[in-house]
Amino acid sequence: MHVELAERAARPDFETLQKQLRSSGYCARPVRLKGHVETCGADGRWRSTWSTLTQPDGVLRKACGNRREAICPACAERYRQDAYHLIAAGLRGGKGVPDTVTEHPMIFATLTAPTFGAVHSRATGPDGQPRRCRPRRDAPVCPHGNSLSCTRLHREGDPCLGEPLCRECFDYDSALVWNNLLGELWRRTTIYLPRALARLVGLTQKQLRARVRVAYVKVAEYQQRGLVHLHLVIRLDRAMPKYRAGDVRPPGLRFTVELLEDALRNAAATVTVPVPQEIGGGYATWGAQLDVQHIGTGRALEPGHCAGYLAKYATKATEQAGGVLHRVTEHEVNQLPVREHVKHYLRHAFALDAQLDNRKLARNAHAFGYRGHCLTKSRRYSTTFKQLRADREAHVLEQILARSRDESQRAIATAAPEQRRGRFEFVGQGHRTDVEALLAEQGRAREREMRRIAREELCDQPPPRREPTCLTRPSSSRS
């Protein structure tokens, strides 16, 4: 490895390679492209301005853009940062949201799944110390002969966490269908919430819509048992007319954070979704556990901490439950290097797919039936990922014009979007050699260290001093 690294560093294009790796964010699985960029001149003719023929190995390395930390830590970190700014903007302002948003009623809530069978867990007491898993004095036994009690103190990362005490008693079919119906369950919750608000303040739904609107952002997280639960930020805004729909203003004084919490609890307790008759019918509901905290300066939860907590889970997937990160076929289940609990989920998903139409359980078997996105928000909550990427692109172009001496780069940066186009073809994905992978890994480590140092220096800086505003006029003296 050292010899290969020395040989690569001795090549004349080594500096260009490092620039490519840095521009891709030190992606772990870069997409390799071959082609060129054309710009349109004043005469209306298109000319090739930049080509991969001048680049190391004749390719352009582009970030894969995968949000999952288990697949690409570099791209997941960028996604996490974007998610943080998106969420934080709706909590404390910025990115087009006024700073007065901190005056709005806001809550952080966690909606969980109901129980589908006893599983090993790591509960903690009021003192923060772990408790025994499931102690039972009578030591009950299930119909299949398995004990339904566990007196162990599970450590963090214990592989048995989330495992059913009896797989035969665990209702895998209902758990899969609940995950599959989660999107519809949340959609109906967003309908029930304004109704509960209207009922609590004594207004009709039409009168409520004329006074207040609900904004939210939600992040889905997999529990170790394989069920999905939602972390939410819900905010109340004043209802605005269509020509000022983009304005974000505080609602009336009677719409308090306590009222919002009561409305969410009422909506979560009453919302239901019919379960297909093919598996017994009934209704899907939220679990009994509903945690609600008030957000705001001086309240239970600080906005920045809340945004960081949600953004962290936006880069996670089924790896928290020991699952796989890619789609699988029914014939691959037995060969997968996963625990038996996960394999049961997969087998039941493929079996249920033949019974239920249009539920796409086989297609989403690797996600335990869940069909939704990891992060969604209402339209008026804050900015969008698209806008954040556009702002980043504009910033990069400004930096090129301010610092770069490469004429081809400057020509691309000065051209309007309609005056430049790229023609590329896919060559492959991933690093070509172990040396490139090592350089990218070292670059990621440096970036992490620089971010850590920047955070520490920012925390060491004293808050900016604000000069007190004089509210009285100085008296004028006449000579």
The pLDDT mean for the chain works out to: 90
Structure tokens at 155: 């450590």
130 and 263 share one domain? no
Q: Does 318 lie in the same domain as 420?
A: no
Q: Are residues 291 and 267 located together in one domain of the fold?
A: yes
Same domain? 210 vs 156:
no
Residue 451: its pLDDT value, please? 86
CB 216 within 8 A of CB 381: yes
SS3 for 388? helix
245 and 140 within one domain = no
- Measure the CA–CA gap between 136 and 118, rounded to whole angstroms: 13
Number of domains composing the chain: 3
State how far the Cα of 314 lies from the Cα of 372, in Å rounded to an integer. Answer: 13
pLDDT in the model for residue 473? 39
Is there a domain that residue 368 lies in? no
Q: What percent of the chain has pLDDT over 70?
A: 95
For residue 157, give its domain range. 120-168
pLDDT tens sequence across 11-50: 998 999 999 999 999 999 999 999 999 999 888 899 999 9
CB burial string 167-202: b at 16+ within 10 A, e below: eeebbbbbbbbbbbbbbebbebbeebbbebbbebbe
In a domain, 52, yes or no: yes
Instruction: Please check whether residues 21 and 104 belong to one and the same domain.
Output: no
Q: What is the pLDDT of residues 211-259, one digit of tens each?
A: 999 999 999 999 999 999 999 999 999 999 989 988 999 999 999 999 9
Residue 135 lies in a domain: yes
Q: Which residues pair with 34 in a beta bridge?
A: 425
d(CA 10, CA 238): 63
Task: Please report which confidence band the pLDDT of residue 1 belongs to, taking 50, 70 and 90 as the band edges.
Answer: confident
Nearest-angstrom CA–CA distance, 317 and 219: 11
pLDDT at 412 over 50: yes
Decide if 391 is inside a domain: yes
CA atoms 75, 81, 84, 90: torsion sign: negative
Q: Are 168 and 188 in contact (CB under 8 A)?
A: no
Give me the mean pLDDT over the 441-462 stretch: 81
Pair 201, 229 in one domain: yes
Q: What is the pLDDT of residue 479?
A: 35
Q: Is the pLDDT of residue 306 over 70?
A: yes
In a domain, 268, yes or no: yes
Whether residue 178 sits in one domain with residue 158: no
> Which pLDDT belongs to residue 128?
75
> Is 366 within a domain?
no
Is 26 in contact with 444 (CB distance < 8 Å)? yes
Report how far apart, in Å, the C-alpha atoms of 260 and of each of 214, 235, 254, 324, 391 are: 10, 8, 11, 38, 34
Tell me, yes or no, whether 191 lies in a domain: yes
pLDDT at residue number 297: 67
